[in-house]
Amino acid sequence: MVKGTRINQLAVVAFLINTIIYSISIIFGYFSYTNSPKIKITNLNMLDILQNNLFLSGKIIVFGMITFGLYSIFIVFMNGFILGNSLSSGNFEWNIMHIIPHGVFEIPAILISATLGMMSLIIIVNLIYYTKQKVALSKKIFLYTQN
pLDDT per position as a tens digit, 72-115: 999 999 999 988 888 887 777 777 777 777 788 889 999 999 99
Q: Which range is least confidently modeled, 80-84, 97-101, 119-123, 135-139?
A: 135-139
Pairwise CA distance, residues 8 & 99, whole Å? 31
Question: What pLDDT shows up at residue 1?
Answer: 44
Sequence-distant (6+) residues with CB within 8 A of 106 are 49, 53, 79
Give the residue from 116, 13, 24, 34 showing the smallest Cα distance to 79: 24
Average pLDDT, the chain: 81
Q: What is the pLDDT of residues 22-45, one digit of tens each?
A: 999 999 988 887 665 555 566 667
Q: Residue 34: helix, strand or coil by DSSP? A: coil
End-to-end CA distance of the chain: 29
- Report whether 29 contacts 82 (CB < 8 A): yes
Q: Do residues 54 and 103 lie in contact, with contact meaning Cβ atoms separated by under 8 Å?
A: no
Residue 138 CB partners (closer than 8 Å, separation 6+): none
Mean pLDDT over 34-59 rounds to 75
